[in-house]
Amino acid sequence: MGDSAIGGGAVATTRSRKSHTPGANIAFAALPADPREVFSRIAVLSLPMVTRFRGITTREAMLVEGPAGWAEFSPFVEYAVPEASRWLAAALEHACTEPPPPQVDAVPVNGTIPACPPGSVAEVAARYSGVCTFKIKVAEHGLDSLAEDCARIEALRTAAPGAQVRLDANGRYTVAEARTALRTFSRFELDYIEQPVMDVEDLARVRADVDRAGLGIRIAADESIRKASDPLRVAALGAADVIIVKVQPLGGVRAALNVIGASGLPAVVSSALDTSVGLSAGVALAASLPASARPGEGIPACGLGTSALFRSDVADPPLRAAGGVLPVGRVTPAEERLSALAAAPDRVRWWTDRLQRCWDHLRTSPH
Ligand SMILES: [Mg+2]
């Protein structure tokens, strides 16, 4: 590709440079018309999942190889071009430039306890060897789940004493329900609760109520953060104490670092149901979080252990936590996995067309 499209120096020198300009960005307007001039290889994959998640049992993803390595472009299929284009910006960055220098060589991940019967919690937790932070799904049926949610928390406390506990309500409470639930949850020592209510203004109301009542539970924004301007809005409204950030929706590692810095809030890096290639970009972001985004000690446990949700992943071995941590570094897909997981021809056509439309959007829209 033309070197002029890459900020902060030519591609060829980006790899060897020790220090990197954190703000280095791709000059989208200078990109060639055909993405194949930048990506030497493009693969469309269909990954079977262990269990239904986000309403799907198969995750489709496009992987692209650029001058710096492989990257992932996997906006969910229902996303329209403007939103999906941000995911492409992230893929371009990862395929064409090296991530900012990491502060650490491994990042911790959290275990996830689904809305399972409390009696199954110990068995699920045991799958996460070395993990010190767990996230428990709550509010599956709103307040009707409250007694079982508490039993699940207690079961985890017994199974993993000393582990840090987070809750995730996925926005399922009303403001009034959240008040009741959070009062109940306040007897547990929690790291935070993600998205007790869906609307960001409601989130601010709940957080103010938590403060007034002295409940001592931090509020994290997850679903409220889908694009670069969202963390700033969350911060401006005082809607959360912590933001959950994902590389692809925010447009790349550097864009994410910029919005995290501008929000002034602590950040926890998570995945958007990425393959191992996309997860490695999340690891790169977590490993380069500035001290202001991770008050306290070390990198907060990341939601990047999601390769376990795939029956088969693109890398061999997949990027899975060992001893509770993921290594920092690029991931290259295995050739036999690219063949075995190749999507059907009609889906390849659909994704190739989507890539071109998002590419054209990036080249022609002001950023
Ligand atoms: Mg969440």
Are 308 and 214 part of one and the same domain? yes
Q: In CATH, what number is assigned to the domain containing residue 28?
A: 3.30.390.10
Q: Binding site annotation covers 222?
A: yes
Q: What is the pLDDT of residues 225-242, one digit of tens each?
A: 988 889 999 999 999 999
Cis peptide before 114 (omega within 30 of 0): no
pTM of the model: 0.91
For residues 198 and 177, what is the distance between their CA atoms, to the nearest angstrom? 12
* 189 phi, psi to nearest 5 deg: -85, 105
Residue 53: domain span: 3-100+334-364
CB contact at 8 A, 217 and 190: yes
pLDDT at 1 over 50: no
**b/e per residue 228-264 (b: at least 16 CB within 10 A):** bebbebbbebebbbbbbbbbbbbbbbbbbbbbbbebe
Distance 32 CA to ligand 1 centre (A): 37
Query: Residue 4 C-alpha to ligand 1 middle, in angstroms?
Result: 38
Looking at the structure, tell me whether residues 22 and 145 fall in a common domain: no
Residues 309 and 245 placed together within one structural domain of the fold: yes
Per DSSP, the residues of 303-350 read: B--GGGGBSS-SSSS-S--BTTEEE-S-----HHHHHHTBPPHHHHHH
Number of structural domains in the chain: 2
Distance from C-alpha of 269 to C-alpha of 162, rounded to nearest angstrom:
22
Strands 56-66 and 41-53: antiparallel
What's the 172 CA to ligand 1 centre distance in angstroms? 11
How far is 76 from 53, CA to CA, in rounded Å?
12
Compute φ and ψ for 261, nearest 5 degrees. Answer: -60, -45
Q: How far is the CA of 166 from the centre of ligand 1 (A)?
A: 10
Cβ atoms of 341 and 312 closer than 8 Å? yes
Same domain, 73 and 155: no
Judge residue 322's burial from the number of C-beta atoms within 10 Å of its C-beta, 0-12 exposed, 13-18 middle, 19 or more buried: exposed
Neighbours of 291 (CB within 10 A): 8
Q: Provide the β-strand partners of residue 172.
A: 197
* pLDDT(98) > 90: yes
In a shared domain, residues 39 and 145: no
**Same structural domain for residues 143 and 292?**
yes
- CA-only gyration radius of the chain, Å: 20
Give 49-97 pLDDT, tens digit per residue: 887 777 788 999 999 999 999 999 999 999 999 999 999 999 999 999 9
CB 158 within 8 A of CB 120: no
Distance from Cα 27 to the centre of ligand 1, integer Å: 32
Q: Among this protein's residues, is 246 annotated catalytic?
A: yes
User: Is 229:263 a contact under the CB 8 Å cutoff?
Assistant: no
Residues 125 and 38 in one domain: no
Q: What is the DSSP string of 198-235?
A: SSHHHHHHHHHHHHHHT----EEESTT-SSTTHHHHHH
| Of 72, 32, 142, nearest in space to 306 by CA | 72
172-202 residue pLDDT tens: 999 999 999 999 999 999 999 999 999 999 9
| 201 Cα to the center of ligand 1, angstroms | 17
Residues 319 and 280 sit within 8 Å (Cβ to Cβ) = yes
Residue 33 has pLDDT above 90, yes or no: yes
Q: Residue 326 contacts by C-beta under 8 Å, 6 or more apart in sequence?
A: 106, 107, 109, 279, 283, 302, 304, 305, 319, 320
pLDDT digits (tens, 9 = 90+) for 277-301: 999 999 999 999 998 898 877 899 9
Stretch (H or E) spanning 155: helix 146-159
Give the CATH number for residue 140.
3.20.20.120
Q: Do 162 and 260 fall into the same domain?
A: yes
On whether both 223 and 307 belong to a single domain, the answer is yes
Does pLDDT of 5 surpass 90?
Answer: no
Claim to verify: residue 148 and residue 290 sit in the same structural domain: yes
Active-site annotation holder among 18, 135, 227, 246: 246
Is residue 7 pLDDT above 60, yes or no? no
The CA 45 to ligand 1 mean position distance, Å, reads 25
pLDDT at 17 over 60: no
Confidence (pLDDT) at 20 = 34
308 pLDDT higher than 90: no
Q: Are residues 61 and 89 in the same domain?
A: yes
Element (H, E) at 82: helix 81-96
Instruction: Determine the pLDDT at residue 208.
Output: 97
Q: Which of 18, 135, 137, 227 is catalytic?
A: 137
Whether the Cβ atoms of residue 265 and residue 234 lie closer than 8 Å to each other: yes
pLDDT-derived band at 19 (thresholds 50, 70, 90) equals very low
For residue 16, the model assigns a pLDDT of 35
What is the rounded distance in angstroms from the CA atom of residue 27 to the CA atom of residue 82? 17
194 annotated ligand binder: yes
Query: Pick from 66, 93, 62: which is nearest to 79 by CA?
Result: 62
DSSP symbol at 231: H
Tokens linked to 224: 């409220």
pLDDT tens figures, 133-158? 999 999 999 999 999 999 999 999 99
Give the residue carrying structure tokens 């033309």.
Answer: 2
Kindly indicate the confidence band of residue 26, based on its pLDDT and cuts at 50, 70 and 90. confident
User: Which pair of structure tokens corresponds to residue 174?
Assistant: 């009303």
Do 139 and 65 belong together in one domain?
no
72 marked as part of a ligand binding site: no
Task: State which residues have CB under 5 angstroms from ligand 1, the bound ion.
Answer: 168, 194, 222
